[in-house]
A and B are shown apart, each in its own frame.
Chain A
Amino acid sequence: MTGKKLNMITQRAVEEGIAMEIGKTSREYFDACNIIEMNELDMKELGIMKNTNVRVTSESGQVIVKAVVARQTVYPGLCHIRQGVWANQVVPPRTQSTGAPQYSGFPVTVEPAPNEKLKTALQLVQGAVGLWKGE
């Protein structure tokens, strides 16, 4: 495996906020939220090209997202997926007995997956509960 352990955080972004209000099934939401923001050094090390897909795997699940270098930079070893459907495929539900899941600061393995397809929000969520009727 060509993956690397990184520390994942998932937080808000204004693009995500706008897209969410347009609608979670919209193209805008799809574009805003299925990306992982990484440090360039990590991408180089992993052989990930900008704007190509990667697989992110955590203790509780995995998701395909598109890797980008963001304006709001992260240091090497840290990565970020905007809050929402894609992030929550990998966010661990453990709460340290507070009620709040581990949305930030959980280990993930990131590996290149240039040939994997991104799934839509509906595909992911309906798929998880056996309601997805599409392909």
Chain B
Amino acid sequence: MPKVIENVGCPYCGCSCDDVRVTVSDDGKKVLEVENVCAIGTEIFKHGSSDHRIRSPRLRQPDGSMKDITYDEAIEWVAQHLYKAKKPLMYGFGSTNCEGQAAAARVMETAGGMLDNCATICHGPSFLAIFDNGYPTCTLGEVKNRADVIVYWGSNPAHAHPRHMSRYSIFPRGFFTGKGQKKRTIIVIDPRYTDTANVADYHLQIKQGHDYELFDAFRMVVIGHGKDLPDEVAGIKKEKILEVAEIMANARFGTTFFGMGLTHSDGRNHNIDIAISLTRDLNKVAKWTIMAMRGHYNIAGPGVVWSWTFGFPYCLDLTKKDHAHMNPGETSSVDMAMRDEVDMFINIGTDAGAHFPIPAVKQLKKHPWVTIDPSINMASEISDLHIPVCICGVDVGGIVYRMDNVPIQFRKVIDNQGLLDDETLLNRIADRLDELNAQGA
């Protein structure tokens, strides 16, 4: 008899939905049906029980082909290379549970290397702004139950977070928001007329790269200098700015959701910094919160886990072994790659091969490259060693952090069929490194 498992967490985007229904086969090895999930989530669960899934580590041979090896051999290979490397980098964790992220911290502290996560190329600039200016935020339920004004700035949930608007922001009816969308004002600020802009009450089609100026204009209005605005700022007419600022200032409870449109553009952290400053200003006249649209279901996780472990959320230099150092720009993955500073690269739970600019990929590829990931992807197909692992939420459970840093407990829905999970794999690598260090000492 097929079995239905409810309250399953979805390992795709930062919404970290936990209401998925998965039907699995009698033997617990196949996902038969997935409900309450977006189109992207469906594919993950399907892929989890695909016949094409790689189930054995593969080592690249001199002729360029890949040959299956055992987990024991793979663990030995990684440990030996980490032991020899002077500045290895482990990067990724877009799809790793927190237990795996904690084990990774142990590996890189033991090895004395660099440890970084996908935030470095996504919301890393947001971290920089938070370091400088703080983070007045809330959980998503506060938005659902209270918010009457929602701003999406440089984010496009219709595409990147498919259930965000229906579960948390625009549409749900909450305790103080019984009329749902009818009583909410939605403002989208984006240079494109996105599918999110399509459902908004206001779309401000900002001139790309000029976000800082528009934030500054809003701050001027909120502080009381609206009449001094020029006729147009960042491609937006003064009258429109005044009108939208008025709506923000009169919010009962407002939230700004911001995304890669701000962190990937000119200004980077400065865009976020002024977004936070605007939020602080708005709290003098209204109640206002702000939230980063974190991309992956647990990409908030490494920032959380490593903050309690080392005090820094990303870009960690652990090479000194008795203390950690963080200095984005210096210790960030892409910058180190471009300076050719690292001498081994472990790509885990991500695909640097597809998502790093290609010059960075070429630099990293000069050195041993290991990919730890359930899937065939660009990183796995250029690596020296590919170690497949369980997919969190599919064949291993664990704690993940939603975009609002709320911990969600994910379940395992199918049998792992011999695959190791990240935590077990990494702890075995760390154990072996401990032995090598002891022998070397």
Whether A and B touch (Cβ < 8 Å) is answered with: yes
Q: A24, A78, A101, A128: which contacts B334 (Cβ < 8 A)?
A: A101
Q: A7-B208, A23-B376, A122-B378 are in contact. Are A60 and B359 (CB under 8 A)?
A: yes
A131 to B44, CA, bound (A): 28
Once A24-B377, A99-B329 are accepted as A-B contacts, the answer to whether A125 and B382 lie under 8 Å apart by CB is yes
List the A side residues contacting B269 at CB < 8 Å: 98
Chain A residue nearest in CB terms to B11: A21
Whether B264 lies near A100 (C-beta < 8 A) is yes
Interface size class of B (residues with CB under 8 A): 35 or more
Q: CB of B141 within 8 A of chain A?
A: no
Shortest Cβ distance from A59 into chain B, in angstroms?
Answer: 10
Q: For the complex, is A71 an interface residue (Cβ under 8 Å from B)? A: yes
Contact of B378 among A22, A72, A85 (CB under 8 A): A85
Chain A residues contacting B381 (CB-CB under 8 Å) are: 25, 122, 125-126, 131
Question: In the bound complex, what is the Cα–Cα distance between A10 and B357 (angstroms)?
Answer: 11
Known: A73-B193, A104-B265, A126-B381. A21 touches B120 (CB 8 A): no
Q: Which of A30-76 touch B at CB < 8 Å? A: 60-61, 71-75
A98 to B315 Cα, complex, angstroms: 10
Distance A103 CA – B355 CA, assembled complex (angstroms)? 10
B151 to chain A, nearest CB (A): 18
Chief secondary structure at chain A's binding surface = loop
B247 located at the interface, meaning its Cβ lies under 8 Å from any Cβ of chain A in the complex: no
Chain B residues contacting A97 (CB-CB under 8 Å) are 328-329, 335
Q: Could you tell me the distance between the alpha carbons of A60 and B353 in the complex, rounded to whole angstroms?
A: 16
CB of A109 within 8 A of chain B?
no
Contact: A11 with B361, CB < 8 Å? no
Is there contact, CB below 8 Å, between A105 and B266?
Answer: yes
Write out the residue numbers on chain A whose beta carbons fall within 8 Å of the beta carbon of B156: 11-12, 72
A92: B residues at CB distance < 8 A: 357
Q: Which range holds the interface residue count of chain A?
A: 35 or more
Q: Name A98's contact: one of B128, B209, B261 (CB within 8 Å).
A: B128
Q: Are B43 and A13 touching (Cβ within 8 A)?
A: no
Find residues 425-439 in chain B having any chain A CB closer than 8 Å to their own CB: none
| B355 and A99 contacting across the interface, CB-CB below 8 Å | no
Distance A96 CA – B272 CA, assembled complex (angstroms): 14
B200: shortest Cβ distance to chain A, in Å?
13
User: When A12-B159, A21-B43, A122-B381 are in contact, do A95 and B332 touch as well, CB less than 8 Å?
Assistant: yes
A129 and B362 contact, Cβ closer than 8 Å, known pairs A11-B260, A12-B260, A97-B328: yes
A sample of 19 cross-chain residue pairs with beta-carbon separation below 8 angstroms, ordered by A number, consists of: A7-B209, A9-B261, A14-B160, A21-B43, A21-B44, A22-B43, A85-B354, A93-B334, A98-B269, A99-B116, A99-B314, A100-B264, A100-B332, A125-B361, A126-B382, A129-B382, A131-B64, A131-B382, A133-B64
Interface residues of B (CB under 8 A from A): 12-13, 38-40, 43-44, 47, 52, 64, 116, 120-122, 124-125, 128, 156, 158-160, 162, 191-195, 205, 208-209, 260-261, 263-266, 268-269, 295, 314-315, 328-329, 332-335, 337-338, 351, 353-362, 365, 375-378, 381-382
